Amino acid sequence: MVSPILKWAGGKRQLLDELYQRFPESYQHFHEPFFGGGALFFDIEPENGTINDTNSRLVNFYEQVRDRPEELIKKCREFQHPEDDPDPEREFSESNRKGRDIDEYYYQQRELFNRRPHDEEFDKLEEAALLLYLNRTCYNGLYRENSSGGFNVPIGRYSNPDWVRESEIRKASQVLEETTIFNDDFDYILDEAEAGDLVYFDPPYEPMSPTAYFNDYSAEGFGKEDQKRLLETAQELNERGVYVILSNSGVMYEMYDEAGFHVEVEGATRAINSDADNRDEVDEIIATNIPESERGSRGQVSLGNFE
């Protein structure tokens, strides 16, 4: 088991046992089209398969973790405490792109990270290191983008934040070694998954109420039409003999139940919420096409482990 490197909204560490209860006895390859923090993937440590995310900066991060772990660790060690003064040798040491004063190191690094949506002048390794640094030092570990695609979470206040994550990077790099990483729509999976494979979908959740927008983590949303396309994709995979497990908010119960999936309601506490006193348990569903008679137990993973 590998600990996730990043904090990520909607992470599934608290649902792992419930997800494992739906796993088939064995499967060929593991695929995760909505990767995020990858809690399930890193817990399984699959030998091969695919992961995907529409966030291109997140995808770049995992590519650097996989391909250049030691360089990434070295780069992360160069960062200073977020409350230090800005580095006078780097851009944005005094003000940001809008001319507003910068008086803390964190905000200078945030401006440097936001090169991508503004001018495309960015180094992939540095961007990956900055993503990790900001993730571990920003307010509550949130990832949020404005309408222009700029990361806009303010500084967090931590006594001793760990933004190097040396051990986690090395272990994750080994797990990702034989994994193909995509930056695409979730329907890429129709070209990749084969009969006997296992696909886990963890999409941005359909809100439980008009104000509960769990999917507001990037400039691009995930609306009702996307939810319908996802169901159609899951149905097509089912017809091809691919194992499917999906988690979503409770309001999606009826849609998957009527489509013939085995659906159950589970409670899960929100790990990331701007109000620490409001991290209550909310209803989530887990839907699958795997009947109880074909389910295995925790620890029975890909067939590759038995070759």
Note whether 198 and 26 are within 8 A (CB). Answer: no
Could you say which architecture CATH assigns to the domain 13-54+184-306?
A: 3-Layer(aba) Sandwich (3.40)
Q: Which residues contact 190 (CB under 8 A, 6 or more apart)?
A: 233, 236, 237
Domain with CATH 3.40.50.150 in the chain: 13-54+184-306
Tell me, what's the pLDDT at 276? Answer: 44
What's the N-to-C CA distance of the chain in angstroms? Answer: 20
- What share of the chain has pLDDT > 70, as a percent? 87
| Residue of higher predicted confidence among 275 and 260 | 260
Tell me, what's the pLDDT at 274? Answer: 43
| Residue of higher predicted confidence among 130 and 207 | 130
Note whether 127 and 57 are within 8 A (CB). Answer: yes
Tell me, what's the pLDDT at 9? Answer: 83
Distance CA 63, CA 70 (A): 13
Note whether 281 and 268 are within 8 A (CB). Answer: yes
Does the pLDDT value for residue 153 go beyond 90? yes
Query: Can you give the pTM of this predicted structure?
Result: 0.88
Domain with CATH 1.10.1020.10 in the chain: 64-167
pLDDT tens-digit map of 41-56? 999 999 999 999 999 9
| Residue of higher predicted confidence among 220 and 111 | 111
Distance CA 255, CA 243 (A): 18
| Residue of higher predicted confidence among 89 and 119 | 89
Average per-residue pLDDT for the chain: 89
Residue with tokens 């890429």: 188
Strands of 49-52's sheet in order across: 179-182, 49-52, 30-32, 198-201, 243-249, 281-288, 262-269
Distance CA 125, CA 131 (A): 10
Tell me, what's the pLDDT at 228? Answer: 96
Tell me, what's the pLDDT at 118? Answer: 75
| Cα→Cα distances 22→30, 117, 145, 163, 269, Å | 14, 40, 34, 34, 20
Tell me, what's the pLDDT at 220? Answer: 52
Cα Rg, the chain, nearest whole Å = 20
Task: Fold for 64-167, please state it.
Answer: Adenine-specific Methyltransferase; domain 2 (1.10.1020)
Distance CA 58, CA 78 (A): 21
